[in-house]
Chain A
Amino acid sequence: MKWVFKQRSIVPGFGLSLGLTVFYLCLIVLIPLSVTFLKASTLTSHQFWHVVLSPRALASYRLSFGASLIGALINLIFGVLVAWVLVRYDFPGKRLFDSVIDLPFALPTAVAGIALTTIYASNGWLGRPLLVLGIHAAYTPLGVAIALTYIGLPFVVRTVQPVLEDLDKELEEAAASLGARRWQTFTGVLLPTIFPAALTGFAMAFARAVGEYGSVIFIAGNMPMRTEITPLLIITKLQEYDYAGATAIAVAMLVVSFALLLPINILQRWSSGRRTSESPIDTPLGVSLKPVYVQKDNL
């Protein structure tokens, strides 16, 4: 069979849309990104690793990745819980709670940052009771974890919700009629079904949290070696005109982000393969409208 670049179609506009898309993509995304790698390549290998593995950088990775991991784990557990509650139960204000889940996407990160800091500072609404318990939240790694939990909150909920909605009640009823207790049904039937989606949401929340700047920078404390996140380290190096150092760390972050993209894509394919309805093209790190319109199997 002859190899074709594009399947035959009478729909017009291929050339125009391809040209516009590729041109804009190159201009805005590809050229700037490749300049970063270009600049990084002017460093010798020794210089590159000297910066990327410096103690200060390592401390910032520990904080950024560690707090992101904790935040993503909290979101994994509570996200599944929230998704379950929103799909299965009815309670007053449910619609309100459902729409406010997307707040971390809609609210600017700086606003979230100052709000969270105000809440968890020692004289804040939650900071004061926590202080009584001896827990310092603001300006500590705990504060960073709290901010990153906030930022990743919608991911798990929004990836698990459609799966729960598509779930056939008949599976649970079959399990129950075979004698399973509710808990057994939950762990044996329901959890495995939502696990791929939950894992996808977890990975997306983690990836987003690692690069987060605005909501963390106010609550973090920003002390080098202790409460400095990696994006802040990049900015500090820029302010010191250490462009090479900043680029080296930025490249390290880019490589990690791309390395996370691939498993996320695979996870999404795995999780959408499990669902009964066709899923829209889900792309990483973002929220789409609830795919009401693609449940073609109901037609």
Chain B
Amino acid sequence: MRLSQAAGRRLVAGIPTAWLLLLFLVPFLIVFRISFSEVRLAIPPYTPLITWHHGSPGLELHWSAYRFLLTDSLYVSSYLYSLKVAAVSTLCCLLIGYPMAYAIARSSPSTRSVLLMLIVLPFWTSFLLRVYAWIGLLNNNGVINNVLLYLGVIHHPLALMQTDFAVYIGIVYSYLPFMILPLYANLEKHDPALLEAAADLGARPLRAFLRITLPQSYAGILAGSLLVFIPAVGEYVIPTLLGRTDQLMIGRVLSDEFFENRDWPLASAVAILILLLLLVPILLFQRVQGRELEASK
């Protein structure tokens, strides 16, 4: 009986662990290894991962992909541009999402569930189609330009598409629920008695907010910001549909190296460098997430 229970537990934990080892962890090791090979015309298009010399296996490491990445200004500027776009978008999400989450947390329980559903509903409809919808709004003959022209605010259509602005709009629009939900989960737990006490003691609303609400919500801000920032750095669809053509984001560069240039080692090296950039944010996110799940006990 005891033995079978232990075996059962091992099975329950072991099956998903084995799945993720094979389809999540091992793939990264392969990417890591291939980033150290060289491109060649073959199937698959890279030098073999293990070379055999007189029957003994050897590892040949080529640094050419990394050398190329770090010396070509195209890649460096793509990395920096991606970080900038992700940071600005995260900040915008926070500035828009915080008051929204605050208002939801302060409303009555029945309104609250309706509002939460309204926030989540767009998330359930296709991400791709929601980004696509912005093309119709931002185009030269799109809805926004037509309305502004009709109202006489402008006399020539504004160039809104293929700009940084369009990418910010797209990212903020797509990732806003990811910012609002953790913020809401945090703000909802605050005790309103603290704010009342502050008001009784003569604190102005702004001061009470800055000294009480804001510090208490740091965990929510951190979780929401990481949920937006990390995927935004590697975003592919939004900059491809809405963004500039003269400055690519790094996710697009990776995809182009892979599909257009068929340079698998270089694409792998790009991936490894993105991961290195995101290592600290990802570890931070895992800690926040782990603590959140422990706290709900």
Same assembly: no
Give A residues with C-beta under 8 Å from B: none
